[in-house]
Structure 1
Amino acid sequence: MNIPVYLISGFLGSGKTTVLLSMIEKCQRDGLKTGIILNELGTKNVEESYFKEQNVKTLLNGCICCTIQNDLNDTLWSFSTEDIDLLLIEGTGVANPIDIEAALTTPEFTQIYELNSMITVVDGSHFLEHQHFFASSKEIRKLLKQQISCANMVILNKEDLITNPSLTKINKKLSGMLDEGVPVFKTSFGNIQESELF
């Protein structure tokens, strides 16, 4: 049986790591052996203290989907020889999940892995700002759209910081980016039922 993969994307500060930690906790309670790939743009993983005693491989100094794609492939091969029940991948804030999906769905890896879910975490408190023509760059708007449009699940985080009029605008914009039937979970502090994540 192929190893199920869950891919988590979202901008820096959106709440990706909180969601990832919830998934890890559920796996531990269910007795599942989990492999974790973390990607950081810098030379050090500033969040490594959260993942003590976990089977983590960290890809540093670049984005998992472009400059260090070979590192991603090497890491996927490395995990394929280990005894794990599932694999969790957290990209950098600027990672395009479509590129990571492309790596996982090459013929060499489709024999080993199965991409179960692409989860995008959105910072609701900055979403409209990131979408605004004058407040953000073309690259940010494009990347946010890519992260959202390929998701089969969106977590709209920091709901507690969003006003009702803003929420109405956000819902409208999201519905224009998502395929029909893709669920959007509104959360505060990344607090979502773990069963929904799987």
Structure 2
Amino acid sequence: MSLFESDKSAERTPVSLITGFLGSGKTTLLNRLLRHDAMKDSAVVINEYGEVSLDHLLVERVDGEVAVLASGCICCTIRSDLEETLRALLVRRDRGEVPPFRRILVETTGLADPAPIAQLLLNNPLVSHFLRLDTVVTTVDAVNAARQLDRQYEAVKQVALADRLLITKRDLVNDTDALDLRLRRLNPGARIENVAHGEVDPAQLFGAALIDPEKKTADIERWLNEQAFADVAKAAHESGHHHDDGHAHHEHHSHDASILSFMIAFDDPLDWMAVSRWLAHLRATRGEDLLRVKGILNLRDEETPVAIHGVHHVFHPPVALAKWPDADRRSRIVFITRGITRHEVLDLWQEAHASA
């Protein structure tokens, strides 16, 4: 009998975050998404109603905070705590007071840190029993991204936590190779898509959940090659980026130089108590610098893989998946950190493993 709860994510309503820095195209993306037939059974939660130009889609006002769009979607503003907003939406759906919806899209403000929302969905029992974090989608403005990433840590964190990176306004920039390299260095696990005028297939954005089934073993192997990361960083460094004010290149990556992305894999089945001690110690001592942890584990005495997922100090309770997503049976854990190196994480693992 497994020690872990089976994966019930299919029974919970998926919540996807749409984030991105100011002016990067979040609202345009949202407008376009809601025109797709596949998105008509969606609820939309936005930070401030006045910031989002959905007025031409509105056909019926339900009350002061909820509106039904022409597409059939529900639009709700956050005028109180997000937990209360989400719970109220679920209650009203159950009562039949709003059209039924099968997913929720949360659009953050351009300066928002997506981590607290992710934490709420991962491990707040009043929410996580009914909702699950699906995908973090981050829009990146090709024209202004370099400057924003240099100067705004929020922009860096939005990229680092993403499952999908959508590059907007690429048609206005002649060469985006340096930006692509920088994004891949910050978050090599995210899928990158080019988006023109917000047009994108919703199927390309959603469905990441705990383990992304589309992340192939070949991609995972790339994560294991530390030299590949070094090469990418070197290429980005040598790409010749300069500030418009003529400052020297050493100011480049002022905010994201400490963001590290790496994966640790284990060939042999792991002892859960050792893994639990390891992760607990990481959370207790370096939680603020654990931007995101996502993995699939092959554990002793467990017939199926176990998924883990965390943001900062908050981790989702581990769940037993029904099957492996691919033929690779290794434990694989992806870390996106601020200043925590792969070497440090492995040292802590050795300590936890030795005391198992």
Which bin holds the TM-score, normalised by the shorter protein?
A: 0.7 to 0.9
The DSSP-based 3-state class of the residue aligned with 1:30 is helix
Query: Given residue 103 of structure 1, which amino acid in structure 2 is its aligned partner?
Result: L
- Tell me which residue corresponds to 2:146: 128
How far is 1:31 from its partner? 7.4
Task: Specify whether residues 116 and 193 from structure 1 end up closer, same or farther in structure 2 by C-alpha distance, changes over 3 A only.
Answer: same
The DSSP-based 3-state class of the residue aligned with 2:132 is strand
- Tell me which residue corresponds to 1:169: 178
Is residue 188 from structure 1 mapped to residue 188 from structure 2 by the alignment? no
Is residue 57 from structure 1 mapped to residue 76 from structure 2 by the alignment? yes
Matches of 1:31 and 1:127, distance apart in 2: 28
Matches of 1:84 and 1:191, distance apart in 2: 22
How far is 1:32 from its partner? 4.6
- Tell me which residue corresponds to 1:24: 34
Query: Given residue 132 of structure 2, which amino acid in structure 1 is its aligned partner?
Result: E
- Tell me which residue corresponds to 1:80: 90
RMSD: 1.9
| TM-score, normalised with respect to structure 2 | 0.46
Matches of 1:196 and 1:112, distance apart in 2: 24
Matches of 1:130 and 1:170, distance apart in 2: 12
Task: Specify whether residues 22 and 48 from structure 1 end up closer, same or farther in structure 2 by C-alpha distance, changes over 3 A only.
Answer: closer
Matches of 2:52 and 2:135, distance apart in 1: 26
Task: Specify whether residues 146 and 153 from structure 1 end up closer, same or farther in structure 2 by C-alpha distance, changes over 3 A only.
Answer: same
Is residue 94 from structure 1 mapped to residue 111 from structure 2 by the alignment? yes
- The one of 10, 18, 27 aligned to 2:20: 10
What do the CA deviations read for 1:111-141 (whole angstroms, capped 9, x no partner)?
1001110000011110112234xxx3xxx1x
Task: Specify whether residues 31 and 102 from structure 1 end up closer, same or farther in structure 2 by C-alpha distance, changes over 3 A only.
Answer: closer
Task: Specify whether residues 50 and 39 from structure 1 end up closer, same or farther in structure 2 by C-alpha distance, changes over 3 A only.
Answer: farther
What do the CA deviations read for 1:48-73 (whole angstroms, capped 9, x no partner)?
4144132111125xxxxxxxxx5211
Q: Any conservation in 1 of the 2:168–2:196 contact (CA below 8 Å)?
A: yes
Matches of 2:130 and 2:108, distance apart in 1: 20
- Tell me which residue corresponds to 2:125: 107
Q: How many residues align?
A: 175
- The one of 166, 169, 186 aligned to 1:155: 166
- Tell me which residue corresponds to 1:117: 135
Task: Specify whether residues 99 and 20 from structure 1 end up closer, same or farther in structure 2 by C-alpha distance, changes over 3 A only.
Answer: same
Task: Specify whether residues 152 and 50 from structure 1 end up closer, same or farther in structure 2 by C-alpha distance, changes over 3 A only.
Answer: farther
Task: List gaps (5 residues or longer) in structure 1.
Answer: 61-69
How far is 1:196 from its partner? 1.1
Query: Given residue 59 of structure 1, which amino acid in structure 2 is its aligned partner?
Result: I
Larger-Rg structure: 2
Matches of 2:177 and 2:132, distance apart in 1: 35
How far is 1:87 from its partner? 0.6
Q: Any conservation in 2 of the 1:23–1:197 contact (CA below 8 Å)?
A: no
Q: Any conservation in 2 of the 1:22–1:194 contact (CA below 8 Å)?
A: no
Task: Specify whether residues 127 and 30 from structure 1 end up closer, same or farther in structure 2 by C-alpha distance, changes over 3 A only.
Answer: closer
Matches of 1:45 and 1:189, distance apart in 2: 18
Task: List gaps (5 residues or longer) in structure 2.
Answer: 1-10, 59-67, 94-99, 207-356
Matches of 1:197 and 1:154, distance apart in 2: 9
Is residue 47 from structure 1 mapped to residue 53 from structure 2 by the alignment? yes
The DSSP-based 3-state class of the residue aligned with 2:197 is coil
Matches of 1:51 and 1:38, distance apart in 2: 15
Q: Any conservation in 2 of the 1:37–1:56 contact (CA below 8 Å)?
A: yes
Higher relative contact order (Cα pairs below 8 Å, separated by 6+ residues): 1
- Tell me which residue corresponds to 1:67: none
Query: Given residue 18 of structure 1, which amino acid in structure 2 is its aligned partner?
Result: T
Q: Any conservation in 1 of the 2:27–2:52 contact (CA below 8 Å)?
A: no
